[in-house]
A and B are shown apart, each in its own frame.
Chain A
Amino acid sequence: NAGVTQTPKFQVLKTGQSMTLQCAQDMNHNSMYWYRQDPGMGLRLIYYSASEGTTDKGEVPNGYNVSRLNKREFSLRLESAAPSQTSVYFCASPLTGNTGELFFGEGSRLTVL
């Protein structure tokens, strides 16, 4: 699927381990987003990047770091995973020039034991 590619799709970690979720988009848009999805809570914004070289905190940034490596790639890092970070993580980028019309990746399902 062209659009937004996330890796890995599944990951199991132990508490305290670190890992990085990778995201790449081929739609040539400036902005990219990381969301987490938890049952009954919708999608909550973790971090976003309005353009290459810039990143900003979203609604739930604690415990995460991000890197906007270039225009295509935006990674999310968990330095010391906690069970509360068990979730499904989605990367997104605008489908069109309107930044609200997001195209989402397929998700990365993370379990922290």
Chain B
Amino acid sequence: GQQLNQSPQSMFIQEGEDVSMNCTSSSIFNTWLWYKQDPGEGPVLLIALYKAGELTSNGRLTAQFGTTRKDSFLNISASIPSDVGIYFCAGSETSGSRLTFGEGTQLTVNP
């Protein structure tokens, strides 16, 4: 089946620093999504990407759909304490097909 490798598994940063994380898949995807999960809550959609090479921003967050269609990247600029949580990538091979999730990146931001 599909596999997603997400890295890093965890990050410990200082407030104000920029953050980068990425996902790679074993097969070509036509949809990439990034979710954030706060402690004790369900994941919340941050950004959705539908075209190879697409670069999309949501406030301080920027995500890119890799040109090979086998990877995606999420960047967070000028991190703040409320950025703490688990970030998940997810992808699907075809429109409407089931999502595969990465293992998550646990982000800790020190004030």
Query: A residues engaging B (CB < 8 A)?
Result: 4, 35, 40-45, 48, 58-59, 90, 92, 95, 98-107
Contact among A48, A99, A100, A104 with B43 in the assembled complex (CB-CB below 8 Å): A104
**A48, A58, A59 pick with most chain B CB within 10 angstroms:** A59
Please classify the interface of chain A as helix (H, G, I), strand (E, B), loop, or mixed, using the class held by over half of its residues: loop
Using A99-B96, A100-B90, A101-B33 as known contacts, say yes or no to A42 and B102 having CB atoms under 8 A apart: yes
Beyond A90-B43, A100-B48, A106-B41: 13 further Cβ-contacts under 8 Å?
A: A42-B6, A42-B104, A43-B90, A45-B98, A90-B42, A95-B45, A98-B48, A100-B92, A100-B95, A100-B99, A103-B45, A105-B42, A107-B40
| Structural contact, B42 and A104, CB atoms closer than 8 A | yes
| Structural contact, B88 and A106, CB atoms closer than 8 A | no
Contact among B4, B31, B42 with A106 in the assembled complex (CB-CB below 8 Å): B42
- CA A4 – CA B92 in complex, angstroms? 22
For A100, list chain B residues within 8 Å (CB): 31, 33, 48, 90, 92, 95-96, 99
